[in-house]
Structure 1
Amino acid sequence: IFSKALYPGILQDEILIFIYPRFLIVYNETISRSALSFHFLIIKISVIVSLITSV
């Protein structure tokens, strides 16, 4: 009960991995791809901003 109160998210993830392994694999891949594209978007924006401010 104490560990459930401390780590509800971790326990939920373990239950989800146990019940929906294939769904979670697809979900994790989608999240990592979108996070990667978001990261590149931030890099592009920062490069453009630095170019504008340097000129």
Structure 2
Amino acid sequence: MNRLVEPIEVAQAIAWLLSPQSSGVTGINLPVDAGYIAGTTWAPMAACRKPHAAEDNA
């Protein structure tokens, strides 16, 4: 989509998650990113990963 999402789009996703319409939904990731993740690899998300236990002790 080549654009940033608008705050209202994030708010609409939150409102849906809080509504009875999402009562059957459990344990999902709901990216509200205008397709950013779909058009890239997971490499940009590497900074968000939790370090391994071995790295904690180094």
Greater helix share, 1 or 2?
A: 1
Whether TM-score is above 0.5 comes out as no
Structure index of larger Rg:
1
What TM-score do the two structures reach when normalised by structure 2?
A: 0.29
Query: TM-score, structure 1 length as denominator?
Result: 0.29
Higher relative CO (CA 8 A, sep ≥ 6), structure 1 or 2? 2
